[in-house]
Structure 1
Amino acid sequence: MYLTRFRVNTARPGSRRLLSSPQAMHAAVMSSFPHLLPTGQNTPRILWRIDHNARAEVVLYILSPDQPDLTHLVEQAGWPAAAANATADTRLSGWQSYPYTPFLDHITTGSTWGFRLTANPVHHIRRKDGEPTKRTAHITPRHQMQWLLERQERSGFRILTKPAHQRLTQHGTDHDLVVHNRRDLRFAKPADTTKRTVSVLAVTFDGRLEVTDPAALRHTLTAGLGKAKAYGCGLMTLAPIG
């Protein structure tokens, strides 16, 4: 497994097109692997996520079984001249890929990490008796947080609680967890002749966790969490707690 980081040049027209269309970004990510056929048959799970850290700091992360070739992304949405002249400075090479398996192998029970996850928190409801259930997005941060808390045990982790002096009121949350960067994605699938609009609500979770089941957490990190993985949701990454 490899985790790849690509910084997007937000001043490029190609960047704006990719960032405004999860379908276009998905196609660009999948085109980074020469051995994958356009038919999508037997395609391995490839996760990706866009982090909007600041107005001019937008980063694409890709988790994949093989190393990607992001030359086309550098040309469309990066710094081609800097990449062409890059020598020892990997920050100028356009993208950086890191072996991920050694990191996964060192995840142990009881270790604590900071995490980030962009996900599509949904539930199934029935509006009227006798109707089939319908997948519906959680709208409020409270319900979005609850969606993640309900999945923590089987996903191999426990979200840590805040120290007593940092906890909110009885109507807030005691967990070390925030939800932000809500995005309502709406688009039509090119192959859908009905031209129906697809709606995906994506939010980003930041928090701290404790590992309870290393094998389950490794599966969560590599297979993704939740729905809409093709549209930039599901990828959780960990970072050491400073």
Structure 2
Amino acid sequence: MMHLTRFRFNTARVGARRLLSSPQTLHAAVMSSFAEILPAGDDGPRVLWRIDRTSRAETYLYVVSPAKPDLTHLVEQAGWPETGRWQTYDYEPFLSRLNVGDRWAFRLTANPVHTARRTDQEPTKLTAHVGAYHQLRWLLQRQENAGFKVVEKPSERRLLPEGDQHELIVSDRRQLAFKKTGQRQPVTLVTVTYDGRLEVTDPDALRRTLTRGLGRAKAYGCGLMTLAGA
């Protein structure tokens, strides 16, 4: 059983701003929404979360989880205690309806990284993709295994000869730095949000993507893909 939950932050409150300023703090708040400890590995469904900021200056938390969350503490700290609510939906009926050839609009916040080294003598290390071209390429390289393909634009709608072949944009690039419990050095993280249109190629693989996440830094608000009517 999987659930999809949405909660709106009251960004005028100090508690909301504190949570939104630290992925580490928000991760702890999300995980404390469950009475039982839930799995966090990549070998099965896990808790995924993402922050969305809308054009109307509204900020939402989305959570996909194997159990229903209780967000009472978030309502009290960062919502509207008298009138605030959250919405939790049974995700299974939607997941079971995915079929080959279906087209959906999608959103994904991810941490696009690659391994690199400056010299042959140095060990490889994870390095963030910072340019839009490489950030787009990062997702396109993973689409087949993730169970979908990003829809290609008709040639007459392409504004550039290179890098504009797909119904895909990258926005909301952020570089985050925060302290992790027990570590002296801050954690730095580059995140981007992808919006586009996809076609389902492998429903089972796409279901795994939607419930297990895509890419790294899932504990810090990355990896959650959601679909909507195209």
TM-score by length of 1: 0.90
Higher deviation after alignment, 165-174 or 46-55 = 165-174
Deviations 1:167-201 (A, max 9, x none): 12213311000000011111121212xx1121110
Name the CA shift for 1:218/1:44 in 2 (closer, same or farther; >3 Å): closer
List gaps (5 residues or longer) in structure 1. Answer: 84-93
Secondary structure at 1:202 match in 2: strand
Deviation at 1:44, TM superposition (A): 6.5
CA distance in 2, matches of 1:25, 1:166: 40
Percent of residue pairs bearing the same amino acid type: 62
Deviation sequence 1:13-56 (CA, Å, 0-9, x none)? 1000011000111011001001228xx89x96200000011363
**Distance in structure 2 (CA, Å) of the matches to 1:176 and 1:60:** 25
The partner residue of 1:169 within 160, 166, 175 is: 160
The structure having more radius of gyration, on CA atoms, is 1
Looking at structure 1, the residues matched to 55 and 182 of structure 2 have their Cα atoms a distance apart, in angstroms, of 34
Structure 2: segments with no counterpart, 5+ residues: none
Structure 2 equivalent of residue 224 of structure 1:
213
1:111 counterpart (102, 106, 116): 102
Letter paired with 2:77? Q
Mapped contact 2:45–2:211 kept (Cα < 8 A): no
Distance 1:102 1:186 in 2: 38
Q: Following the alignment from structure 2 to structure 1, what is the Cα–Cα distance between the partners of residues 14 and 56? A: 15
Matched, 1:50 2:39: no
Task: Write out per-residue CA displacement over residues 53-83 of structure 1, whole angstroms, 9 at most, x where no aligned residue.
Answer: 1363001000000100000000011111114
Q: Is the 8 A contact 1:159 1:208 kept in 2?
A: yes
Verify the 8 A CA contact 2:45 2:212 in the aligned structure 1.
no
Q: Distance in 1 between matches of 2:188 and 2:117?
A: 18
8 Å CA contact 2:48, 2:218 repeated in 1: yes
Runs of 4+ in 1 over 4 A off after TM superposition: none
- Match for residue 193 of structure 2 among 195, 198, 204: 204
1:98: Cα distance to partner?
A: 0.3
TM-score where L is the length of structure 2: 0.94
Q: Is the 8 A contact 1:10 1:56 kept in 2?
A: no
Is 1:18 aligned with 2:56?
Answer: no
Determine if the alignment matches structure 1 residue 158 to structure 2 residue 158: no
Shift of 1:228: 0.3
Distance (whole Å) between structure 2 residues aligned to residue 151 and residue 73 of structure 1: 34
